[in-house]
Amino acid sequence: MAPASSLAKALPSIDAQWASLVDVLDAVDAPAYALLSTESGFPLKAHGYGVRDLVTAVRAAAGTFEARRAEIVVADDVATLELDSGTTQTVIAAISSRRGQHLLSVTAEGVSMPVLRAWTHHTATKFGALLDRP
């Protein structure tokens, strides 16, 4: 693992990438949620969730990702799982870096799965590069 000081240097870039994702989700004219967490289940960034819902959301994303491993698709070093429940679409992406594995879960209503998949994959790739910085 990299020292905490190197993570502190990457935080402004991580915050900017998160803000970009939130801007896209805010443009959706329906409920949208995003969550970035550590492999151990600690929520790092959240959008659309109440504080009391964070631990449950992190556990649900991690549990679903683990339980449905056979459905995971890997592209450009990002493993993703797509979930479709009527008009609600969710993409969970595993991000591996020198700082360990992180999960990015993005859920939106009324958004096409290809659009949600592309944006989640793009964001996960960016986070992976940022978290890999020395």
Residue with tokens 């289940």: 41
* H/E stretch holding 80: strand 78-85
Q: Could you tell me if residue 33 is inside a domain?
A: yes
Rounded Cα gap, residues 124 and 105, in angstroms: 10
The per-residue pLDDT string of the chain (134 residues; one tens digit each, 9 = 90 and over) reads 445 555 566 677 889 999 999 999 999 889 999 999 988 888 999 999 999 999 999 999 999 999 999 999 998 888 999 999 989 999 999 998 888 899 999 999 999 999 999 999 999 999 999 888 87
The domain containing residue 74 runs over which residues? 6-132
The two three-digit tokens of residue 2, written as one number: 């990299």
Residue 116 counted as domain residue: yes
Please tell me the total count of domains within the chain.
1
Total-model pTM? 0.89
Is 1 contained in some domain? no
Q: Could you tell me which of 101, 98, 67, 97 has the C-alpha nearest to residue 81?
A: 67
> Is residue 18 assigned to a domain?
yes
CATH code of the domain covering residue 56? 3.30.450.30
